[in-house]
Structure 1
Amino acid sequence: MSKSSSWRSAAAVNWLLIAALITAAFLGSYEYFAPSKENAAESGESAGGSNSTATTAAAVAAFSSAEPGTCLTWDISADSPVSNFQEVTCDKEHRFEVSAREDLSTYPTSEFGPSATRPELNRQDQLRDELCQSSTLTYLKSKWDPSGKFDIASILPPQGAWDEGDRTLLCGLQTTDDKGVPQLSTGNVAAVDQSILASPGQCRVIGEDQVVRTVDCSQPHQLETVSTVNLAEKYPEGYPGSEELDKYLGQTCTAAATEYLGNEENLYQSTLQPFWGSLSEGSWNGGSRSVNCSLVHSNENGFSTITGSAKGGRDALNIDGKAPEERPARDPIREPAR
């Protein structure tokens, strides 16, 4: 058994926890999407110099006409959290794919009657869980990986439309960053790879709040991404089984780590180990096809805390507050006989 596979087996339990954190879906809801600063839609002030009435009317029209399969997008900036809300075709960048429309006026209580105030975020979360989960799974024909990058979310109409009697709740799907901000994506969720992927060179840390964030590699982290692997290219016929995946990823991610650091000796001297994500059959059937290959370091509690990038060599690394351990000299690695 190789050094990397021995380490992976010893840390398997720790990785199951970390994998769950890395791939956990964060369900979202949005209290307000009108294109304005603060309450610009109500005050009549525009968010960026455009015609406020026309812009608001266009946003309300996009919301009111959205049906399952519609994709919606909007602009986000520091001085205008939401603006330019509009419908686009799903092959273009968007932030929300509608899976269902729900009419809260038919809710089996009088909670959302003509004089009702819009529900607060906690109540919206409850409505999303109650009304959007089943309808979204039906819309996707169960082609959804709850451990993937797309979350089930909901949107209510802007305050002005609510005051005029619009009680629509849009259910849909989105992907967010580690702060919960909806990100741009392309394509319909059921047709794209739903895996949560990092880019080569990115370092990732698991915060005390159990949220995985991408940080500068000079900051404390546990993983440094070296590559991503699209398993559908290797296994076009379907899920090959966890043992076969582990074997293939062990070889592939070790080769990727070696290439990332320039040669096998650099990998050895770094004291870091190749690591690869797992992909269950359920996630595969739900629509995920790819995993990250990373570099990590293990200690008795699981993953060590690393600062610095392995790209800078062992002198650039700090592991659990110390320089990497010294490596004994060894014979050069030779290419296997062909």
Structure 2
Amino acid sequence: MAVGAIVAALATLMLSGFDNDSNLQARSPGGVVAKADKVFASVAPGDCLTWTKPDHSDLVELDCAEEHLFEVTDTVDLSRYPGAEFGPGAVWPDSLRLTELREEHCVPAAQRYLNGRFDPRGKYAVGLMYPSNDGWNTSGDRILRCGLQVPGLSGNPLPNTGRVAESDQSKVYEPGVCLGISQNLPTDPVDCAQEHAVEIASTIDLSARFPGGPPSKDDQDRFLEEECGRTTNDYLGGPHVLRDKTLTVFFDFIDARSWLAGSRKLNCMIGKGADQEGFAPIVGPARGRIMIDGQEPVPPPNSGRSTPTPLPGAAPLPPQPEPRPAPR
């Protein structure tokens, strides 16, 4: 609930990020990368690939148990495409057309590959590897590879281990991880000493509380308000820390599509709502000294409770006991 709108916006950014050439995973064929071309030509669904160079000239296939960047889900041969759009002499498709091809071929391929259990809001995103301009025009290369990868907002996929079908697709991070900030929204993990939007306090598994079908958002909210409050206080060392640093607990919810794909976990996050929308930049770990928008937080007076204005849809902070008069 707490960052429902914000997390949804973040997911949109991740997917739309694939509209540029780097995230569509272009490769550059030619004499210096003949080995990489051979690898690319031989892979099949279920194979995993990795590389370190921007032109993919060191592309290698490896066991999916090892750290990799791309898991192949399908092959598309554009030379068999109806009409002359991709025939000999055809113009190399631009990034918009490649994005359309990804949506047309690779999104359904991901669902088939995972037997209908792909979480569109989860850890993985649909990717596409395609020929470079030179490969298209000089070598007549028309092969596309659909795949799954962990998207990074920096423009490059993030390393992953294990097959997607055997992994929990829940988009969660370990406690203590900080997510960077760009345009008031969370980005990729960064050192907490750098500016960030939120810090992960805990991971909540909803499967024990909701063993059946997808729970309603309201039911999730009620459960997570209590659990995130409790686990965040444990993480910080007491409820006074959250109060004194004027921070707020945020959490998302799992929609029916994600639930049916098998995702059950969510993060409890600590952050500070910006004056207008999104998050304010924080520097420093929440369990240490922090700066919010370049200023040290001012604790509220001991005689009362002061909380920051929550974001739209933000979960309230855990209820605190009313102050009691001192014994006489």
Q: TM-score, normalised by structure 1?
A: 0.75
CA distance in 1, matches of 2:240, 2:185: 34
Asked if 1:64 corresponds to 2:41, the answer is yes
Tell whether the 8 Å contact from 1:21 to 1:212 is kept in structure 2 after alignment.
no
Give 1:95's aligned residue. 69
SS in 2 for 1:228: strand
Could you tell me whether the CA contact under 8 Å between 1:176 and 1:182 is conserved in 2?
Answer: yes
SS of 2:232's partner is helix
**2:133 aligned with 1:138, yes or no?**
no
User: Is the 1:304–1:319 contact (alpha carbons within 8 Å) kept by the matching residues of 2?
Assistant: no
CA contact (8 A) 1:192 1:287 kept: no
Greater Cα shift, 141-150 or 261-270: 261-270
Query: 3-state SS of the aligned residue for 2:221?
Result: helix
Q: Secondary structure of 1:132's match?
A: helix
1:221 and 1:327, CA in 2 relative to 1: closer, same or farther beyond 3 A?
Answer: farther
Letter in 1 for 2:128: S
Q: Secondary structure at the match of 1:258?
A: helix
After superposition, give the CA deviation of every residue in 1:120-176 in whole Å (9 maximum; x if it has no partner): 333322222233222332232221111122111211245675433332111121112
Percent same amino acid at aligned positions?
A: 32
Question: Is the counterpart of residue 256 in structure 1 residue 231 in structure 2?
Answer: yes
Matched position secondary structure for 2:270: strand
Alpha-carbon distance change, 102 to 291 in structure 1, aligned in 2, over 3 angstroms: same
Aligned to 2:92: 118
Distance in 2, Cα, partners of 1:283 & 1:311? 32
The whole-number CA distance in structure 1 between the counterparts of 2:185 and 2:236 is 29
Task: Give, in whole Å, the separation in 2 of the partners of 1:301 and 1:160.
Answer: 47
Supply the distance in 2 between the matched residues of 1:74 and 1:119 (Cα, whole angstroms).
Answer: 24
Distance change in 2, residues 1:169/1:18 (3 Å): same
Match for 1:289 among 261, 264, 271?
A: 264
Does the CA contact (< 8 Å) of 1:145 and 1:194 recur in 2? yes
Whether the aligned pair in 1 keeps the contact of 2:172 and 2:203 (CA below 8 Å) is yes
Q: Which residue of 2 aligns with 1:75?
A: 51
Q: 1:232 and 1:66 mapped to 2: Cα distance?
A: 36
2:166 maps to what in 1? 191
Q: Could you report, residue by residue, the CA deviation over 1:185-234 in whole angstroms, capped at 9, with x for unpaired residues?
A: 12332332222223323333552396634445455544222122233465
Query: For residue 29 of structure 1, what is the aligned residue in structure 2?
Result: 24
2:7 is the counterpart of 1:19: yes
Look up the match of 1:227.
202
Cα distance per residue 1:273-316 (max 9 Å; x no partner): 32222111221112322211111334774555143332125xx3
Secondary structure of 2:24's aligned partner: strand
Residue 311 in structure 1 maps to residue 299 in structure 2: no
Q: State the distance in 2 between where 1:323 and 1:269 align.
A: 8
Letter in 2 for 1:17: A
Find out whether 1:245 has 2:240 as its counterpart.
no
1:238 and 1:152, CA in 2 relative to 1: closer, same or farther beyond 3 A?
Answer: same
Q: In the alignment, what sits opposite 1:152? A: 126
Q: Residues 276, 16 of structure 1: CA spacing in aligned structure 2 closer, same or farther, 3 A cutoff?
A: closer
Change (3 A) 1:260 1:133: same
| TM-score normalised over the length of structure 2 | 0.77
Give the C-alpha shift of residue 116 in structure 1. Answer: 3.5
Q: Does 1:175 align with 2:150?
A: yes
Is the 8 Å Cα contact of residues 245 and 298 (structure 2) preserved in structure 1? yes
SS at match of 1:19: helix
Residue identity matched to 1:32: R
**Bigger mean CA offset, 134-143 vs 165-174:** 134-143
CA distance change for structure 1 residues 306 and 133 in 2, over 3 Å: closer, same or farther? closer
Q: Is the 8 A contact 1:178 1:211 kept in 2?
A: no
Cα deviation for residue 184 of structure 1 reads 1.7
Structure 1: which 5+ runs fail to align? 1-7, 35-40, 45-55, 334-338
Note the residue ranges of structure 2 that are not aligned, 5 or more in a row: 305-319, 322-328
Q: Which structure exhibits the higher relative contact order, with contacts defined as CA atoms closer than 8 Å and separated by 6 or more residues?
A: 2
